[in-house]
Structure 1
Amino acid sequence: MNPQECAVLLVSVIASVMGQLFLKMGAAKLGKLDFAHPFNQITGIITTPELLIGLGCYGLGAIAYILLLTRVNLSVAGPSASLVYVFSVLIGFLIFKESIPLMRFMGLSFIVAGVILVVWNK
């Protein structure tokens, strides 16, 4: 991938991670799922600003990913998009104070190594 393609990938990944961040913040405001009152849950979803922002971020990430696919093979773009997992765990750690057990850290290391190998050009 050239620098412009890497930039588009980065926009896609960051927008998707921001989408997850805002969706988590909005979900925390909603509280636990109440199967007895589904209409109230749906109303809560469409009136919670964080959830709407999160969905908008996901939309921006999808648009950037589509633009990336116009220039990069799916066999490169798809695995590269898995960086969302890495950044999501980091956001969970930094903002929501979630722990990163050793096995999860090792898994994230494998993802990063795999992305490097996939995008590496000789």
Structure 2
Amino acid sequence: MKYIVFILFTVMTNAAAQLMLKYGMMSLGPLSFAGVNPVLKILQIVFSPWIFFGLCVFVISMASHLYVLSKVDLSFAYPFLSLAYVAVAIFAYFVFREDLNAWRIAGIGFICLGTILIAQSDRSHAADGTDLAGNPMHKSEMSQ
């Protein structure tokens, strides 16, 4: 649980990047490559402000994720990224007026439940004095 703040930062920056990319694509309107050089069109998309900023935030998210991966097991950290689905669904409902029906809400509930169960796996290791890799922990690490 020591790195949960970094994991949640990764999740939230990932979700924010997705929302910015969506907003940027909506602001561009329908895409058409007819009669346009595809390379120029892609550059126009990438350098539109919301798309560009979304890509920058996504790079920050990936840098944070790399830091997390250097500290905890992949099998512990990666499932937390599913919380980005939860954040995106909720924010898309409020920002873009996207549908949030009973099936999606149920799915969000299952994602949250699964993430809680995975987070508990970290506590079980801390309780028996080992880290996620099964290595013995020092007393100072167990109290965090």
| Residue 34 of structure 1, CA deviation | 1.2
Residue 44 of structure 1 corresponds to which residue in structure 2? 44
**TM-score normalised over the length of structure 2:** 0.78
Number of aligned residue pairs: give it: 120
Residue 131 of structure 2 corresponds to which residue in structure 1? none
Structure 1 runs, 4 residues or longer, greater than 4 Å off: none
Residue 16 of structure 2 corresponds to which residue in structure 1? 18
- Residue type matched to 1:22 in 2? M
Partner-residue secondary structure (3-state), 1:97: coil
Aligned identity (percent) is 32
| Residue 50 of structure 1, CA deviation | 0.5
**TM-score normalised over the length of structure 1:** 0.92
1:109 aligns with 2:109: yes
| Greater relative contact order structure (CA < 8 Å, 6+ sep) | 1
How many Å separate the matches in 2 of 1:46 and 1:107? 32
Higher Cα Rg: structure 1 or 2? 2
Partner-residue secondary structure (3-state), 1:81: helix
Contiguous gaps of at least 5 residues in structure 2: 125-144
Residue 6 of structure 1 corresponds to which residue in structure 2? 4
How many Å separate the matches in 2 of 1:119 and 1:47? 38
Per-residue Cα deviation, 1:53-112 (whole angstroms, up to 9, x for no partner): 000010000000000011111111111111110001011011111120101110111000
